Chain A
Amino acid sequence: MNTMIESTKVFWYDSDIPDSLLTEILIRLPMKSIFLFKSVSKRWLSLISDAFFGRYYAARINNDPALSRSHQPWIFLFPYFYKEVLPTETVIRFPTSFNPERFYELSSSLFSLSFLPVHTEDSVLSIHIIASSNGMVLCCRNAYPLTYYVCNPITKQHVILPTPPKPASFCHSMDAGIICKDDGSYTVVRIPNEESSSNMLELEIFSSETGTWTEFNFSCQVRNYSRSNHKRLYSTISYNGILHWAADKQIFAYDPYRSTDQCYSMELPKCSERLERYSLAICCGRLCCFAGGKSLRLWELTNYESGKWNLKHQRKLSEICSVDARLHELFGSDVKICFRPLAMHPFNWDTVYGSCGSRLISYNLRTGISNLIDYGLIPAALHPFILPPWPTMIPQPSWGPDDI
């Protein structure tokens, strides 16, 4: 009898918990614990490093609205990244648990780009954050010659891109965007923002798969393609794997995974009032557009194919109010309020962020209530950085190191 049991025991029983069960335990842990536990044993390392595990983990969070809300904390990245300008209220918090009440705070000093190999003579202001997509950040060393970095600020991986074909002295003379896919492959697009006398839009495109820059010229329907009228750096938005940016009268879209030699354009939302600074953002997974003048308007793109915009909010700036004493002096008097919208809350349709003089404020478009976020040097752009459910790993570059 005993021998029979022993033999079936070998057949049935694994004294360890099988991989499938261990996976079920581990996916209930916060991302940070899981990465730590790669060091438990070779078996745990291979289980966690398997692409299936990351996909399974992300799917569990993405399929549950409550989990995805608590497990995708976000912050605004300021273009000039140094610790002092990162408002403490917007510090990214690492979830340590599937209980949203328990967070381990990733301090602003931890969320730094100090791992980038900058020159010792460079100041902290020399790294300029340009865009972010899928947990990856595109930044640029703002000194001649421009050096572009793609990095993951959580895992502290980075790559240096080869030198782009067109020379440029400053980050400001070129806009750029990044589209990053789940497998870590990415495309970087450089967009001229200087006045162009021709009808051509000249883009430079870098693909991580080929490791090379390619130049493309697209003819524009608008004469004198120009983005320089507004005298500021625009944000590019990666939405559904397509890069979008607003120019003077229309929105441009470039889809590197559909056709590399075409650029699409889309109408800006129509508005009777003269508005300025049309900007794009993503809110609750939808592409939206906001602009300010005497009032602030926010549209949602309800149909991508037909380019149909739906006005979501419209609020007069004179209605702005605040319970914060530090904002009373701004809004209480008859002084004309100058609010420059900069960014949307990535998960809340009511909240827009912008600058009011030297203050960064949030503005609730439903209630009209404003709150002070930060004082001081307010940048001309803010990039929401959303922590992805599973970190995107940057593939090993296929190109050699650039000599700088």
Chain B
Amino acid sequence: MTQNWPLWEVFVRSRRGLSHTHAGSLHAPDAEMALRNARDLYTRRGEGISIWVVPSAEITASSPDERDPFFAPSADKPYRHPTFYEIPEGVHHL
């Protein structure tokens, strides 16, 4: 039965120079078949040139309930962004 066919997450690189992005998921008995199924399912209109498959169970995700405490600290550090700094008019390439 397919309950023994684990779920895999599929990441596709659409062209050189871009990173792999999540395309969706599928079932496959093992990594080799997952890769092939992913090729058939997620690149049949020429959407990709490289595929990663990862067992869904192997992904560790941050908890949604922690999203405020987890991500809030990064919101109050505007000095990490270039727009924080004032540059006098007429100064270029900065």
Specify whether A and B are partners. Answer: no
Which residues of A pack against B, CB within 8 Å? Answer: none
B residues adjacent to A (C-beta < 8 A): none
